[in-house]
């Protein structure tokens, strides 16, 4: 029997029609002479009715059916009695009287029920991922992801982009995170690296004259995992020639608008995306990826604090620090001392020594430090744009500490008090980034974006001998959505003289630069066009559009927090022959008498 | 200046319009007061004219221009004088008078000219791939490839397939070719494998209820390279539930027709694709991927040969062999003894001991063995479907040797005599394959397709205890185009009892089967739908559609014959710290005093 439609699509328009449906048994209600089966497929659930009246044979088969059995049925769609109508179900006005039925596959009891909001540990969900993915929510998540890529293919194809694949067995490059390596059998002791991005290849494709390239590209980073990181992730990667930053931002905006429309039917106006200077974003929000759904911003009260009776404030200013704060609307009644102690504790991780807070009341400030601040009450209220009922949270420290702490406090308080409109899609561009960024751990300057980022034209001279390159800003642009960085783009350097200066500023000797990027430097000598691009993180974008909080929810087969696929149990030891003989490597498990299990060894 | 159109698109419809063009200098003709520049971009070439009359400044800039310089110009499109019209060029009726010009990037002399039919070694082309890719032919090749994937996205999306990504960091599986391995840092001594196909994952996605999945998936095999192999290659991979073989073939046919239409504007009728039984294909063409553009087929003259005066023929039959031949139209006049000696020599590699040939003339057979065969002249001519002017090529040996040799001879002679219509697209389905295939090197039976292939229903009993599983045939289907295997598909096993029997027949102990495929066997216990699919080789498909003979021509950055990227020089030794400290491995170059160069070591 050939399926006529999906179970989840059978609505009242099918009444009186015969249908063949195939899918999974969601639930079975056995009334003896009458059996009800909820049949599930990827589009939804429909109610089947088995009875002797319709088919004694089918009823007998239904008697055997259990949850998650795979079945096929042939039946007639009937309108339900008025009292049996389920208004919450798309198929709730009808049911299917079954005339023929068969079981295509049986099922054991599943380790968790196949429903949304399942109570199962993450590892259990991952181990039985093929069952977890049956849940309607996971089906929807991956469907949205699929629509994001389809919208991308459609839009970029219409705009004249070619879909070009770049290698996954590539060269290890010295910048960036730790590479995943792939040992070579032909050259023992040599390794390919799985790319952290197609960056060099896409620049070369512009040098090759393709003009507009895109790729849905997998990328790999062997980093310690966090909530929103995976060893492999996917980029919607584009590069184009002969376009300036403004033109690229315009095109990317239109692309993102298309994705929003096609994937979740939301209209956004890219011409209205705010464009924030990086420095402005840091000043107003304490972060380079501000969540613009939150109305209140960081306010600098340093000039007031300098004259403050509160020693912590005035002392901080004297020592070259700043005092900034946020006014959280309605916070006065909603934060207990205990809550505030918790917030204080949390911001210690940003280096903040403490949190100063006052509640704004009709009778002036209220709280432990109110007595020091009430003298400047009106000045502070004006600077903070505060009103009665607000709580004011201040951090006094070095600029960077204040930014980190207040960015956190802004997002946390907005979440606590439900001040974020979950139906809002707040895009923004953050532009004009510093070209370099200081890395404290290694006490060195690294490229803020990557070593191929073009400085602002008026800043080019900073790369010259005797100047301070770290003052240069870049032709770079990040796209931000609801407080997440969706993608990071820039105009690239396209001439060798600038590229060599940039690499020198990053501490590369001429020799090391050519060892690492020689082929790109070579290519720049043969007529390289002006170029730029961006890569959007597909996982994060799909996560946001699906309303999820972890990218694992939009990846079919993710790794767990220790980079393990707990379903297939990868990684694993493999045959000694392959490691030792073929690749010329020695791994601990293959050392003599290591006594390790080695399943594939003969 | 913002580009107004591509150089290659400026035709007579632009006459009288101002244009801004950006691209590469193809050629420069300097007549002193007049300079002609051919400007190239991805869409083609247009002629620019610089003269004092239009702009003295621009003329001065043009004087600096050299081949492959990147330039931008602003000018006016004019019709050419009648005598200057170049009918071979799309833009040959016009030229652009240049009013403003600037050089965006200079270029050294390129190691080879940027034209089609370039005379450069493969390694030189690969080393300067970014220049090689500038050639119009390579631009066209990758454009066709891009259109193949776009057509795939469009068609499969319309048919309700979800684009779902599966992991590249996966588990090593015991079947198939050698895996590329990726050492794990978290679990030293353990390895991920780069997948040879998404086979297991796509089956699990059907178990997860997605119903229809597709992916443009990279796959990896660490095999010795041949002309049409690369360490990484791309599959157009699909899987679907609840469909039988016929329905899948119908859908795939429609998909391929869409690709042909969208990528190269060719109409094919999938309902007319011949469907050949595997055994029939082997008998008629000596191969399971027949080139149906060649009219002549293998003819079995064993019954005649058994009675032959030619001892080689009769002796072969006595020893259980066969005698088959082909009648090559017009071959009598076109093959010298020397040519035939060469063919004879070549077929030795298939195990053939010799080649018997006769020319068909008005006076009977002609050639060294004609005297033995002329007695049976009419019988042979009838069996071979031969006519005067043909040459008959016979091979007498075991079935398999005869098949290999005559398949070769059929294709070679057709190529020699230009008997192949290059404008024809000969698709075919080859179905009903043996389930197992005997591997001589290892003296064992392996899965002809893969271990998840569903046997024909009437052959299921062959997998039972005491029966001979090697007699079973499979629900499998290969799609063939012009003598190339485009893709290999099958209905999969969806119940554990059959899967376990299959793995047992392949020599897996129960324990080894669960070690290797346990998660799939587990999944089959929780309600697995009937399923099937196919994977088309994108590289080969794009190669054929682009009229190329090597997949390297449709891959932007391929590896060379020793799996090396000669442009970026990958693979390479990497930092000792990463190998030894992070991954816990020992590679020869990091052994004490190995004295090997190690660029990244500190």
pLDDT digits (tens, 9 = 90+) for A206-254: 999 999 999 999 999 998 876 668 999 999 999 999 999 999 999 999 9
Query: Quick one: average pLDDT of A27-54?
Result: 96
CB contact under 8 A, A181 and B523: no
Which residues pair with residue B75 across a beta bridge?
A: B19, B98
Sign of CA dihedral B418, B421, B423, B427: negative
Is A36 near chain B, with CB under 8 Å? no
CA distance B469 to chain A (A): 24
Q: Which residues of B touch A182 (CB under 8 A)?
A: 180-182, 194, 571
b/e burial code for range A452-475 (CB count within 10 A of at least 16 → b)? bbbbbeebeebbeeeeebeebbbb
- Domain end: A105, A125, A150, which one? A105
pLDDT band at B601, cuts 50/70/90?
A: very low
A vs B: CB pairs below 8 A:
356
Compute φ and ψ for B98, nearest 5 degrees. Answer: -95, 125
Q: Which of A183, A190, A203, A599 is nearest to B183 (CA)?
A: A183
CB contact under 8 A, B22 and A241: yes
| Cβ under 8 Å to B: A residues 492-511 | 494-495
Nearest to A527 among B70, B189, B525 (CB): B70
Q: Count the Cβ atoms, other than its own, within 10 Å of residue B303.
A: 11
Sign of CA dihedral B526, B532, B537, B538: negative
CA torsion A205→A206→A208→A212, rounded to 10°? 80
Residue B357: predicted pLDDT = 97
Which of the 8 DSSP states describes residue A335? -
The answer to whether B272 touches B424, Cβ cutoff 8 Å, is no
Residue B255 counted as domain residue: yes
Q: Which pair of structure tokens corresponds to residue B131?
A: 């220049």
CB contact under 8 A, A209 and B134: yes
Residue of A nearest to B184 (CA): A571
pLDDT tens, position by position, B531-578: 999 999 999 999 999 999 999 999 999 999 899 999 999 999 888 888
The answer to whether B288 touches B430, Cβ cutoff 8 Å, is yes
CB contact under 8 A, A146 and B153: no
Do A145 and A273 have their domain in common?
yes
Do B166 and B247 have their domain in common?
yes
Helix (H) / strand (E) containing B308: none
**Is B175 annotated as a binding-site member?**
yes
**Is A540 annotated as a binding-site member?**
yes
CB contact under 8 A, A3 and B242: yes
Residue A175: predicted pLDDT = 67
Query: Quick one: average pLDDT of A466-490?
Result: 95
Q: Which of B451, B548, B458, B540 is nearest to B501 (CA)?
A: B451
Residue A130 counted as domain residue: no
**Is B376 annotated as a binding-site member?**
no
Residue B565 to residue B373: CA distance in whole angstroms: 55
Residue B541 to residue A25: CA distance in whole angstroms: 41
CA torsion B247→B250→B256→B258, rounded to 10°? -110
Is A189 near chain B, with CB under 8 Å? yes
Query: Quick one: average pLDDT of A479-507?
Result: 94
Residue of B nearest to A108 (CA): B526
Residue B117: predicted pLDDT = 87
Nearest to A567 among B169, B519, B587 (CB): B519
Residue B27 to residue B47: CA distance in whole angstroms: 9
Sign of CA dihedral B271, B276, B278, B284: negative
The answer to whether B38 touches B62, Cβ cutoff 8 Å, is no
pLDDT band at A602, cuts 50/70/90?
A: very low
The answer to whether B22 touches B3, Cβ cutoff 8 Å, is yes
Is B9 near chain A, with CB under 8 Å? no
CA distance B528 to chain A (A): 6
| Cβ under 8 Å to A: B residues 296-355 | none
For chain B, first and last CA: distance in Å?
Answer: 47
Token pair 């839009």 in the structure block, residue: A155
Token pair 């929103």 in the structure block, residue: A228
Residue B175: predicted pLDDT = 67
CA torsion B268→B270→B271→B274, rounded to 10°? 100
Residue of A nearest to B167 (CA): A557
Do B49 and B90 have their domain in common?
yes
Query: Quick one: average pLDDT of B52-67?
Result: 97
What is the DSSP annotation of B442-485? TTEEEESS-TTBPBPGGGGGGGSTTS-GGG-BBSEEEEEETTEE
Q: Which residue has the higher pLDDT, B510 or A127?
A: A127
Residue B594: predicted pLDDT = 43
For an interface test with A, give the residue of B141, B192, B219, B508 to mutate (most A CBs within 10 A).
B192
For an interface test with A, give the residue of B515, B556, B586 to mutate (most A CBs within 10 A).
B556
Residue A131 counted as domain residue: no
Residue A73 counted as domain residue: yes
For an interface test with B, give the residue of A134, A167, A173, A507 to mutate (most B CBs within 10 A).
A167
> Given a cut of 50, is residue A527 above it in pLDDT?
yes
B167 preceded by a cis bond (ω within 30 of 0): no
Which residues pair with residue A219 across a beta bridge?
A: A233
Do B300 and B249 have their domain in common?
no
Residue A227: predicted pLDDT = 64
Residue A132 counted as domain residue: no
CA distance B238 to chain A (A): 14
Query: Strand B70-79 to strand B18-30: parallel, antiparallel, or no bridges (unpaired)?
Result: antiparallel
CB contact under 8 A, B572 and A171: yes
* B56 torsion bin: left (phi>0), alpha (psi -120 to 50), beta (else): alpha
CB contact under 8 A, A169 and B232: yes
Residue A516: predicted pLDDT = 85
Do A524 and A503 have their domain in common?
yes
Residue B91 to residue A195: CA distance in whole angstroms: 41
Domain count for chain B = 4
Do B536 and B447 have their domain in common?
yes
pLDDT band at B225, cuts 50/70/90?
A: confident
Contacts of A567 (CB under 8 A, 6+ apart): A126, A127, A128, A129, A130, A557, B519
> Given a cut of 70, is residue A415 above it in pLDDT?
yes
> Given a cut of 60, is residue B141 above it in pLDDT?
yes
CB contact under 8 A, B586 and A585: yes
pLDDT band at A595, cuts 50/70/90?
A: very low
Do A260 and A147 have their domain in common?
yes
> Given a cut of 60, is residue B490 above it in pLDDT?
yes
Q: Which pair of structure tokens corresponds to residue A214?
A: 């895109």
Contacts of A186 (CB under 8 A, 6+ apart): B562, B563, B564
Do B475 and B396 have their domain in common?
no
**Is B500 annotated as a binding-site member?**
no
| Cβ under 8 Å to A: B residues 194-213 | 194, 200-201, 204-205, 207-211
**Is A66 annotated as a binding-site member?**
no
Q: Count the Cβ atoms, other than its own, within 10 Å of residue A562.
A: 11
Nearest to B571 among A163, A190, A600 (CB): A190
Do A247 and A202 have their domain in common?
yes
Q: Starting at the edge strand that comes first in sequence, how are the strands of the sheet with A322-328 ordered?
A: A299-300, A322-328, A391-397, A356-361, A364-366
pLDDT tens, position by position, B432-457: 999 999 888 888 888 888 899 999 99
pLDDT band at B72, cuts 50/70/90?
A: very high
> Given a cut of 80, is residue B591 above it in pLDDT?
no
Contacts of B536 (CB under 8 A, 6+ apart): B235, B236, B252, B256, B479, B486, B487
Residue A468 counted as domain residue: yes
CB contact under 8 A, B22 and A568: no
Query: Strand B299-300 to strand B322-328: parallel, antiparallel, or no bridges (unpaired)?
Result: antiparallel
CB contact under 8 A, B211 and A42: yes
Compute φ and ψ for B385, nearest 5 degrees. Answer: 60, 40
Residue B588: predicted pLDDT = 72
Query: Quick one: average pLDDT of B386-401?
Result: 97
Residue of A nearest to B163 (CA): A146
Long-range residue pairs from B459-464, CB within 8 A, at least 24 positions apart, any chain? B459/B435, B460/B498, B462/B435, B463/B498, B463/B501, B463/B502, B463/B504, B463/B505, B464/B501
CB contact under 8 A, A232 and B166: no
The answer to whether A205 touches B561, Cβ cutoff 8 Å, is no
CA distance B196 to chain A (A): 13
CB contact under 8 A, A171 and B565: yes
Q: Which pair of structure tokens corresponds to residue A355?
A: 């949190």
Per-residue CA distances from B469 to B146, B245, B514, B532 (Å): 43, 22, 21, 21
Q: Which of A125, A272, A130, A152 is nearest to A541 (CA)?
A: A152
Nearest to B527 among A107, A179, A563 (CB): A107
Residue A364 to residue A373: CA distance in whole angstroms: 10
**Is A407 annotated as a binding-site member?**
no
> Given a cut of 60, is residue B268 above it in pLDDT?
yes
Q: Which of A209, A153, A149 is nearest to B148 (CA)?
A: A153
Mean pLDDT over the full length of chain B:
94
Residue B165 counted as domain residue: yes
Do A457 and A544 have their domain in common?
yes
ipTM of the modeled complex: 0.94
**Is A159 annotated as a binding-site member?**
no
For an interface test with A, give the residue of B143, B150, B155, B169 to mutate (most A CBs within 10 A).
B169
Which of the 8 DSSP states describes residue B580? I
Domain assignment of residue A184, given as a range: 139-277+428-554
Nearest to A164 among B3, B142, B590 (CB): B142
Residue of A nearest to B203 (CA): A130
Residue B424 to residue B405: CA distance in whole angstroms: 25
> Given a cut of 50, is residue B596 above it in pLDDT?
no
Residue A571 counted as domain residue: no
Nearest to A105 among B72, B527, B570 (CB): B527
What CATH number should be reported for the domain holding residue B317?
Answer: 3.30.1360.30
The answer to whether A365 touches A446, Cβ cutoff 8 Å, is no
Crossing angle (nearest 10°) for helices B136-158 and B538-545: 120
Q: Which residues of A touch B507 (CB under 8 A)?
A: none
Greatest CA separation found in chain B?
94
Residue A370 to residue A391: CA distance in whole angstroms: 12
Residue of A nearest to B526 (CA): A107
Do B444 and B489 have their domain in common?
yes
Residue of B nearest to A576 (CA): B189
Token pair 């063949």 in the structure block, residue: A20
Do B544 and B454 have their domain in common?
yes
**Is B492 annotated as a binding-site member?**
yes
CB contact under 8 A, B192 and A589: no
């Amino acid at each position: 029997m050939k399926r006529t439609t999906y179970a989840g699509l059978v609505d009242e328009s099918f009444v009186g029609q015969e249908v063949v449906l195939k899918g999974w048994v969601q639930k079975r209600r056995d009334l003896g002479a009458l059996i009800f089966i909820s049949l599930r497929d990827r589009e939804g659930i429909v109610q089947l009715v088995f009875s002797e009246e319709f088919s004694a044979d089918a009823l007998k088969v239904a008697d055997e059916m259990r949850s998650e059995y795979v079945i096929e049925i042939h039946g007639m769609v009937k309108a339900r009695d008025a009292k049996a109508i389920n208004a919450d179900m798309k198929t709730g006005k009808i049911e299917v009287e079954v005339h023929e039925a068969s079981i295509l596959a049986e099922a054991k009891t599943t380790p968790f029920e196949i429903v949304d909001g399942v109570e199962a540990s993450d590892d259990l969900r991952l181990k039985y991922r093929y069952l977890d993915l049956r849940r309607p929510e996971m089906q929807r998540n991956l469907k949205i992801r699929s629509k994001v890529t389809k919208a991308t293919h459609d839009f970029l194809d219409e705009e004249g982009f070619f879909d070009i694949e770049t290698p996954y067995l590539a060269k290890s490059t010295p910048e960036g995170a730790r590479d995943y390596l792939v040992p070579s059998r032909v050259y023992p002791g040599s390794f390919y690296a799985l790319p952290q991005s197609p960056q060099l290849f896409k620049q070369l494709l512009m040098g090759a004259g393709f003009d507009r390239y895109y790729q849905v590209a997998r990328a790999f980073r062997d980093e310690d995992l966090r909530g929103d990181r995976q060893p492999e992730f996917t980029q919607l990667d584009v590069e184009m020639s002969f376009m300036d930053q403004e033109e690229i931002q315009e095109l990317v905006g239109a692309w993102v608008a298309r994705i929003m429309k096609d994937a979740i039917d939301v209209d956004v106006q890219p011409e209205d995306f705010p464009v924030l200077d990086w420095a402005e974003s840091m000043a107003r929000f304490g972060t380079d990826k501000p969540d613009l759904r939150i109305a209140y911003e960081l306010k600098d009260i340093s000039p007031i604090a300098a004259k403050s009776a509160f020693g912590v404030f005035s002392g901080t200013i004297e020592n070259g620090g700043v005092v900034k704060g946020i006014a959280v609307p309605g916070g006065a009644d909603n934060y207990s001392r205990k809550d505030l102690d918790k917030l204080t504790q949390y911001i210690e991780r940003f280096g903040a020594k403490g949190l100063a807070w006052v509640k704004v009341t009709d009778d002036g400030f209220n709280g432990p430090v109110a007595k020091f601040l009430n003298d400047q009450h009106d000045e502070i209220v004006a600077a903070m744009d505060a009103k009665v009922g607000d709580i004011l949270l201040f951090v006094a420290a070095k600029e960077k500490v204040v930014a980190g702490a207040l960015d956190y406090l802004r997002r946390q308080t907005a979440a606590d008090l439900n001040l974020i409109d979950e139906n809002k899609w707040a895009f923004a561009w953050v532009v004009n980034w510093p070209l370099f960024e200081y890395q404290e751990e290694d006490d060195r300057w690294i490229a803020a974006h990557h070593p191929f980022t073009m400085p602002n034209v008026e800043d080019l001279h900073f790369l010259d001998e005797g100047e301070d390159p770290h003052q240069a800003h870049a032709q770079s642009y990040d796209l931000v959505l609801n407080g997440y960085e969706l993608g990071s783009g820039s105009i690239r350097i396209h001439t060798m003289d600038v590229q060599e200066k940039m690499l020198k500023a990053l501490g590369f000797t001429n020799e090391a630069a050519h060892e690492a990027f020689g082929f790109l430097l070579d290519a720049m000598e043969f007529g390289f066009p002006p170029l730029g691009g961006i890569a959007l993180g597909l996982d994060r974008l799909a996560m946001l559009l699906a309303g999820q909080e972890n990218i694992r929810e939009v990846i079919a087969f993710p790794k767990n927090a220790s980079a393990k696929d707990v379903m297939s149990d990868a990684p694993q030891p493999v045959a000694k022959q392959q490691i030792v003989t073929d690749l010329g490597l020695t791994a601990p498990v293959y050392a003599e008498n290591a006594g390790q299990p080695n399943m594939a060894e003969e």
